[in-house]
């Protein structure tokens, strides 16, 4: 298992960006994709000559919690590096080579950012409301069966790689126009027996909340 690369330092990170602004010296913002409890995600492009469209996450952390801030990047990097020839599985998000941090010891809030694969499509909640419910009954049933199987394959991929996501919810399940599924937001991903007790309350099991999870991610009850 290859170690994740050391962070790049950049002292100009922030949380809010407008289209055309630079995130550090690395990414040009196209627009904001969303805001979560741990930061914001932007649609952006990489520098010339590549000019690849990606998603960039920008978040905050306390100076004694750098490991938590870098966990999502580290998990994506490891899944990618463990894949054959370093080519990410269809169930794993691709990630740019390094994470960028803006860390000032003693400052209450510090910043990090990293680039990752941009997924064209809708999250499961919006797909259900805007697309799925308008399909004819037969097509709707076929789509539901297909998506359930694809979601299961994504979760099995995590299990096969000895990690658990710990924040599965409709907003973290992306559906592409050709009905492929990718699970996003690896911020809480850990080994199955290392649940943090954090997550989205409405979607957390009682076992996770009470810390009753074994090494396979199953409850101890």
DSSP lists the bridge partners of residue 175 as 122, 181
Confidence of residue 55 (pLDDT cuts 50, 70, 90): very high
Helices H / strands E in the chain, number of each = 4, 10
Residue 99 CB contacts under 8 Å (≥ 6 apart), including other chains: 4, 5, 7, 8, 70, 73, 112, 113, 114
Quick check: do 8-117 and 122-209 share a fold?
no
Cα gap 6→48, rounded to integer Å: 23
E strand or H helix at 147, and its extent?
helix 137-160
pTM of the model: 0.86
Report percent pLDDT > 90 for the chain.
53
At residue 220, the pLDDT reads 38
Instruction: Assess whether the previous peptide bond of 26 is cis (omega < 30° from 0).
Output: no
Domain spans of the chain, in order of start: 8-117, 122-209
Topology of domain 8-117, CATH? Phosphorylase Kinase; domain 1 (3.30.200)
Query: How many other C-beta atoms lie within 10 A of the C-beta of residue 198?
Result: 15
CATH class held by domain 122-209: mainly alpha
For 91-148, what is each residue's pLDDT tens digit? 899 999 889 999 888 888 899 999 999 999 999 999 999 999 999 999 999 999 999 9
For 199-212, what is each residue's pLDDT tens digit? 788 888 777 777 66
């Amino acid at each position: 298992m290859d170690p994740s690369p050391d962070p790049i330092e950049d002292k100009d990170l922030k949380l809010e960006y407008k289209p055309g602004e630079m995130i550090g010296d690395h990414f040009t913002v196209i627009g904001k994709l969303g805001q979560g409890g741990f930061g914001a995600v932007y649609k952006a492009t990489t520098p010339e000559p590549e000019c690849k469209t990606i998603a960039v996450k920008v978040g905050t952390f306390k100076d004694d919690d750098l490991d938590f801030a870098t966990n999502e990047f580290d998990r994506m990097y490891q899944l990618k590096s463990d894949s054959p020839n370093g080519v990410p599985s269809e169930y794993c998000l691709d990630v740019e080579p390094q994470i960028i941090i803006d860390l000032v010891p003693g400052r209450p809030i510090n910043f990090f950012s990293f680039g990752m694969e941009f997924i064209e499509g809708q999250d499961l909640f919006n797909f259900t409301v805007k697309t799925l419910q308008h399909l004819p009954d037969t097509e709707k049933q076929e789509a539901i069966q297909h998506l359930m199987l694809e979601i299961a394959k994504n979760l099995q991929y995590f299990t096969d790689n000895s990690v658990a996501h710990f924040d599965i919810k409709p907003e973290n399940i992306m559906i592409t126009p050709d009905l492929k599924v990718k699970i996003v937001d690896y911020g809480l991903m850990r080994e199955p027996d290392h649940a943090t007790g954090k997550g989205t309350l409405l979607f957390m099991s009682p076992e996770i909340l009470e810390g009753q999870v074994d090494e396979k991610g199953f409850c101890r009850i």
